[in-house]
Amino acid sequence: MWLFRNPEKPPSLEFDKPWRSLDWNEDKQNLLTAINIFKPRNSEVGTLRILLHGPQGAGKSSFFNSVNNALQGRITTRALAHAVETDQSFTVKCKTYKVKKDNPDSYFPFNFTDTAGMHESGGIKMDDIIKLLNGHINSGYNFNPLKRITEEDPKYNKNPTLKDRIHCLVAVLPANTISMMDDNIIRQMADVRKEARDLGIPQVIIMTKVDESCQLVKDDLTRIYTSKTIKQKMEECSVKLGIPVSCIYPVKNYHEERISDDTMDILILDALKSIINFADDNVEDQVDSD
Ligand SMILES: Nc1nc2c(ncn2[C@@H]2O[C@H](COP(=O)(O)OP(=O)(O)O)[C@@H](O)[C@H]2O)c(=O)[nH]1
Ligand SMILES: [Mg+2]
């Protein structure tokens, strides 16, 4: 066998052609235009609700900030990203973030709810997640693993309608540490995914920290869809959570950059466009089945 090997040429780390296509020159403006004119088809649902879940440090806050940066065209820090794992608090506030449009007092018709810390502090309670997915929990609600959610809480919505529900579930996983991730966290995330599936909620994975998992991509982000490492990490995420690779979006979040980067923006906006389209389809499906 050794005769056929060429000792000069190690196996390539890259595919000859990208396996998913993005136009690095044209796409940013097209994506921005599509997102700027986007409106949910159902007028009853003015704002689509997107739920971010995943382990602490995965890049949930950074992803929201990156979406905000890409849409505002400048660096913003709305959701506090933690440099170190400091948040050991027992209660976890359910926070919803809106994204401002150019004109004053106007917002994009989607928002992000962060489940920060729900996987820690004694583990996520499935009961809480189901209520969150069904729209019972308003922004500002305090999750406490020792206490059951009570209907008397002012942040509890007793009669949620279609507009209050979660319309797309986004799992955030870091590419660089996915192989070492605690089984318990993966199991909890898979459980949340199953609940969402039973409720008919579409799901995507945002795979962050691509720069930390592939040197080729760290040096040149446009090689993201030719990197064999990134494809393999996406396949690993797919197997771990049971979500098809076609619904996985690898991104590099803004974390230390001080100016906008078109390639980072394109990946983030491409992911966002799919998320809002999935969410919008979900609303339509719910209306059809009611
Ligand atoms: N290199 C790199 N670092 C990232 C990326 N996304 C997030 N981070 C860093 O990872 C850490 C945790 O991110 P954070 O958004 O707070 O995670 P959260 O706990 O899920 O909200 C922070 O130090 C971020 O700067 C990324 O795509 N690449
Ligand atoms: Mg966070």
Q: What is the CATH number of the domain that holds 114?
A: 3.40.50.300
Position 172 pLDDT exceeds 90 = yes
Domain that includes residue 114, residue range: 45-81+88-289
The pLDDT score that the predictor gives to residue 237 is 97
Residue 17 belongs to a domain: no
pLDDT of residue 87: 46
Tell me, yes or no, whether 94 lies in a domain.
yes
Mean pLDDT within 230-246: 97
Which atom of ligand 1 is found nearest the CA of 84?
A: 23
Question: Number of C-alpha atoms within 13 angstroms, CB side, residue 278?
Answer: 23
Per the domain annotation, does 39 fall within a domain? no
Spatial CA neighbour of 20 closest among 267, 278, 289, 269? 267
- The answer as to whether 173 is a domain residue is yes
108 SS3 class: strand
Q: Is the pLDDT of residue 83 over 60?
A: no
Sequential DSSP letters for 184-220: HHHHHHHHHHHHHHHTT--EEEEEE-HHHH-HHHHH-
pLDDT per position as a tens digit, 23-82: 898 899 999 999 999 999 999 999 999 999 988 899 999 999 999 999 998 887 766 655
Q: Could you give the dihedral angle defined by the CA atoms of residues 81, 86, 91 and 97, in that order, rounded to the nearest 10 degrees?
A: 0
Q: Nearest residue CA, atom 25 of ligand 1?
A: 255
Amino acid found at 21: S
Quick: pLDDT tens for 196-206: 999 999 999 99
Does residue 196 belong to any structural domain of this protein?
Answer: yes
pLDDT at 74: 83
Confidence tier at 121 by pLDDT (50, 70, 90): low
Among residues of the chain, what percentage have pLDDT more than 90?
A: 60
Question: Would residue 15 count as lying in a domain?
Answer: no
174 lines ligand 1 (CB under 6 A): no
Residue 59 Cα to ligand 1 midpoint, Å, equals: 4
**Residue 9 falls inside a structural domain:** no
- Whole-number pLDDT of residue 55: 87
Task: Tell me the residue ranges of DSSP E strands in 117-256.
Answer: 142-143, 168-174, 203-208, 248-250
Confidence of residue 185 (pLDDT cuts 50, 70, 90): confident
And the tokens for 194? Answer: 């199953």
pLDDT of residue 152: 84
* Cα 86 to ligand 1 centroid, rounded to whole Å: 13
Is there a domain that residue 28 lies in? no
Residue 48 has φ and ψ, to the nearest 5°, of: -80, 140
Q: Is the pLDDT of residue 84 over 50?
A: no
Count of structural domains, the chain: 1
121 Cβ below 6 A of ligand 1 = no
Ligand 2 centroid from CA 283, angstroms: 27
